Amino acid sequence: MIRSRTFTPTHVVLSAGALSLILVASVWSAQSESSTSIQLPSTEAVNHLADLAQQPDSQATGQPLQSGTPDPARSTNIVQHTVQPGDSLSSIFSEAGASQADLHRIMKADVEYLALETLRPGTELKLIFSKQGEFQQLALDLDPARSLAYTRVDSDTFEYQESVQNTHWVSEVLKGSIRGSFYQSALNAGLSATQIASVQQLLEYQINFRRELRVGDTFAVIVGHERTASESTGKTRIEAVSLERRNRTHTAFLFDDGNYYDQNGKSVLPAFRRLPTAKSFRVSSRFNPNRLHPVTGRISPHNGVDLATPVGTPIMSTGDGVVERVGNHPYAGKYVDINHGNAYKTRYLHLDKIFVRKGQHVRRGEKVALSGNTGRITGPHLHFELQMNHRPVNPLKADIPTASDVPKTALKQFEKLAEYELAVMTNAASRSNLILAGIDTRFD
Ligand SMILES: [Zn+2]
C-alpha cells in the first residue's frame, strides 16, 4: 500500500520517461504471468464431495448423519461449494448437512460485517465438520488476497475472522481521445465500465461529460491493479486522471489520505456530513472495535455508532454516492449501504422504510430512509457506520473530508505527487497504444 516516491521535481520528467519503460515492462510481466498456469494443490477428495453436493439425492448431502452409519465422504470433514447464481446459504447448508440453527448463529456473527448478504457467484465456500460430524466452520475465499471464516467457539456462538494477505498496487497508464461519447472512448482506451463511472464521478463537478467534450479532446488515466505476490486480486483503483480540452485541463489525483484533489490541491469531491440526521441524538452505543461479548467474553466489535432515533426519523446520506446495497438481514434489519467513491462507504441499519434502490445516485443530505426498529435489537435506534478503505472507523471522530483542500502540512508532498503523475500521464506509453500495436496487455 505504500507508494514510495523518491523523485525530486527537477528529475520528474526524466523519471517519467524511465517509468514509461517500467510500465511497458510491467505489462509484459503481467502478460507472461497470465499465460503461466498456476498449479493448485490437488484436492480430489474435496472436489469429489463438491460433485456429490451437486446431486440432490446423493448420500453425502441432505440429512445430517444417522448415528452409527459410517459415511466415507464425511471422513474428510470438508464440503466445498462454489456459489452459483440463485444459490442461497440456506440451501447450501441443507445440502451439506449443516443445520439452519448454525446458519442463524453465523448470521448473528455476521451482523457487524454483512459479508454474507451478497454472495457473488464464483465465491468458494467450505463447510468444515469435526470427525464426529459436528459443523465447525464456514470459510469463504472472497478473492486471492481475502478470506473469511466463521468459527464455532461454543455450542451457541460463532466468531468472525478475516485474513488479508499483503498486497501491492501495480500502475498502468491508459490514454485515449474523444471519438463519440466519453464512455465509448474510454472503453476503447481499455477502461472498464466501473472505472469509467469512477472517472466521471471524480470530474463531474468540473465538467459536463455530455455537453462539453469535443472530438479530439484527450484523456489519460493511471489505473492501479491490486496484486498479491503471485496474482491479481481483481481490485482496481483510479490513481490519477487528466482530461485535456482545447483550453482547459481537468485533473484528479488520489492522495495518501484516500481523497482526490485537483493539481492545485483542491478537493474534487464535496465534503461529507458528520451525521446522517438533521439534529443530534443521544449515542446509545459507541463505536468500539474492542467490545467484549457479554457471554463469551471474547472480542465482538461494534463497528458503528448507535443513535437513539425514534422510529420514523429521516435518515440522510452523509455524502454524494451510489447506493451499493439495500437489504434485510435477520439481525441488522432493513439496511442501506452507500458507496462514496473509492475510499468511503456508509451503512445505515435497523431502518423502517427505505426510499432508494440499488444503483441509485444520491446527494449529500438526501433523505434515503426512515429509522426504525428492524432486525434483532432491543429498542429503536439507527446504527450508522463509516468505512474508510474497507475498514470501519469511528464516524464521530474520523478524519473525514469535511475540509476541501490538501492540508497545508502535506501540500509539498502532494504537489510532488501531482507533478510526477502528470508527467507520467503525458509521457508514458499507453496500453491503448500497445493494443494498436497488436500486443496483448490484459492485467489478470
Ligand atoms: Zn450498532
pLDDT in tens, 338-350: 998 768 999 999 9
Using the mean position of ligand 1's atoms as its centre, give its distance from the Cα of residue 302 in Å. Answer: 6
Residue reference for cell 479532446: 217
Using the mean position of ligand 1's atoms as its centre, give its distance from the Cα of residue 279 in Å. Answer: 19
pLDDT in tens, 67-85: 333 344 445 689 999 999 8
| Structural domains of the chain ordered from first start | 9-29+167-270+404-436 (3.10.450.350), 77-164 (3.10.450.350), 283-393 (2.70.70.10)
Using the mean position of ligand 1's atoms as its centre, give its distance from the Cα of residue 397 in Å. Answer: 16
Decide: 220 and 249 in contact? Cβ < 8 Å: no
Using the mean position of ligand 1's atoms as its centre, give its distance from the Cα of residue 382 in Å. Answer: 7
Using the mean position of ligand 1's atoms as its centre, give its distance from the Cα of residue 139 in Å. Answer: 25
222 or 120, which is more confident? 222
Using the mean position of ligand 1's atoms as its centre, give its distance from the Cα of residue 167 in Å. Answer: 31
Exposure pattern of 294-326 as b/e (b: 16+ CB <10 Å)? eeeeeebbbbbbbbebebebebbbbbbbbbbeb
Q: What's the whole-number mean pLDDT along residues 81-91?
A: 92
Reported as a pLDDT band with limits 50, 70 and 90, residue 267 is confident
Out of 77-81, 285-289, 362-366, pick the least confident.
362-366
Q: Is the pLDDT of residue 31 over 60?
A: no
pLDDT of residue 67: 36
Using the mean position of ligand 1's atoms as its centre, give its distance from the Cα of residue 84 in Å. Answer: 32
Decide: 299 and 293 in contact? Cβ < 8 Å: yes
Residue 382: beta bridge partners?
307
Using the mean position of ligand 1's atoms as its centre, give its distance from the Cα of residue 305 in Å. Answer: 6
Q: Is the pLDDT of residue 437 over 70?
A: no
Q: In angstroms, what CA-CA distances link 361 with 114, 118, 309, 321, 406?
A: 22, 20, 25, 6, 26
Return mean pLDDT, the chain.
81
Using the mean position of ligand 1's atoms as its centre, give its distance from the Cα of residue 401 in Å. Answer: 23
Using the mean position of ligand 1's atoms as its centre, give its distance from the Cα of residue 73 in Å. Answer: 41
Using the mean position of ligand 1's atoms as its centre, give its distance from the Cα of residue 304 in Å. Answer: 5
Using the mean position of ligand 1's atoms as its centre, give its distance from the Cα of residue 235 in Å. Answer: 29
Percent of the chain with pLDDT over 90: 54
Which residues have their alpha-adjacent CB atom under 5 A from ion ligand 1?
304, 306, 383
Q: In angstroms, what CA-CA distances link 193 with 187, 197, 299?
A: 7, 6, 40
Measured between alpha carbons, how far apart are the two ends of the chain, in Å? Answer: 19
Alpha helices in 36-86 (DSSP H): 44-54
Using the mean position of ligand 1's atoms as its centre, give its distance from the Cα of residue 321 in Å. Answer: 22
pLDDT in tens, 155-185: 999 999 999 999 999 999 999 999 999 999 9
Using the mean position of ligand 1's atoms as its centre, give its distance from the Cα of residue 272 in Å. Answer: 21
CB neighbours of 372 closer than 8 A, spacing ≥ 6? 311, 312, 333, 334, 350, 351, 352, 353, 380
Q: What's the whole-number mean pLDDT along residues 412-417?
A: 95
Reported as a pLDDT band with limits 50, 70 and 90, residue 404 is low
Using the mean position of ligand 1's atoms as its centre, give its distance from the Cα of residue 335 in Å. Answer: 12
Using the mean position of ligand 1's atoms as its centre, give its distance from the Cα of residue 352 in Å. Answer: 15
pLDDT of residue 438: 66
Using the mean position of ligand 1's atoms as its centre, give its distance from the Cα of residue 306 in Å. Answer: 5
pTM (predicted TM-score): 0.62
pLDDT of residue 42: 30
pLDDT in tens, 92-139: 999 999 999 999 999 999 998 888 877 888 889 999 999 889 999 999
Out of 268-277, 324-333, 371-380, pick the least confident.
268-277
Q: Is the pLDDT of residue 23 over 50?
A: no
Decide: 241 and 219 in contact? Cβ < 8 Å: yes
Reported as a pLDDT band with limits 50, 70 and 90, residue 402 is low
Q: In angstroms, what CA-CA distances link 422 with 10, 64, 248?
A: 14, 62, 14
Using the mean position of ligand 1's atoms as its centre, give its distance from the Cα of residue 378 in Å. Answer: 11
Q: Is the pLDDT of residue 432 over 90?
A: no
Q: Is the pLDDT of residue 1 over 70?
A: no
Reported as a pLDDT band with limits 50, 70 and 90, residue 296 is confident
Out of 50-54, 131-135, 300-304, pick the least confident.
50-54
